[in-house]
Chain A
Amino acid sequence: KNEVEQSPQNLTAQEGEFITINCSYSVGISALHWLQQHPGGGIVSLFMLSSGKKKHGRLIATINIQEKHSSLHITASHPRDSAVYICAVRFNAGGTSYGKLTFGQGTILTVHP
């Protein structure tokens, strides 16, 4: 069964703290996405990874294909980082996958000033 597990489910931090959110998946993938969902519901794509590491501002995403694991890091966290962070993967399914994503349950991050 193709599954995506995120941890922790809830995360509370003080402004300035370094934050890590983890994502594990069950079988081989062709791509992994990190998404950010704000309270209004809108979703923004932060990163797409198929290997290695990507950095954008204070956000860093890494993936270990062999271990089937990815992490999203936020350095110097700020209250505006408060949101739900979602890991989504595209499992290897040959030519029929059509880019379908399987989503983790999300991590609710709250950063206090």
Chain B
Amino acid sequence: SQTIHQWPATLVQPVGSPLSLECTVEGTSNPNLYWYRQAAGRGLQLLFYSVGIGQISSEVPQNLSASRPQDRQFILSSKKLLLSDSGFYLCAWIAGADTQYFGPGTRLTVL
């Protein structure tokens, strides 16, 4: 069966520290993967998407970067976190028009 894993589930980091959030999927190959962020009081916003290994598209300019080192692994990173990076980060896998899977999310608080 198809599953998305994300870790960590929660994270508290100081401003200026690095970040690495990981997303892995099971039960599929060559998935289209997405990173979304939900800032406090706001809707979900697409940050990055990837259609294959090493292929990353960014939707909004920001302090974050993404990488796809393996077919079923998608990583969200930052070299120096900002307060505005706080939020709820979701990894998603969309397999065709009918199938949408979301990971459990990571709640990031930058202090």
Contacts and interface: CB of A to CB of B under 8 A. Distances in A.
B49 A30 contact: no
B45 A50 contact: no
B100 interface: yes
A100 B49 contact: yes
Interface residues of B, number: 27
B97 interface: yes
B43 A106 contact: yes
A45 B46 CA distance: 17
How many A residues are at the interface, by size bracket?
A: 20 to 34
Nearest to A105: B43
A42 B102 CA distance: 8
Contacts of B43: 86, 103-106
B105 A45 contact: no
A57 interface: no
A27 interface: no
Interface of B: 32, 34, 36, 38, 42-46, 49, 51, 57, 59, 88, 90, 92, 94, 96-102, 104-105, 107
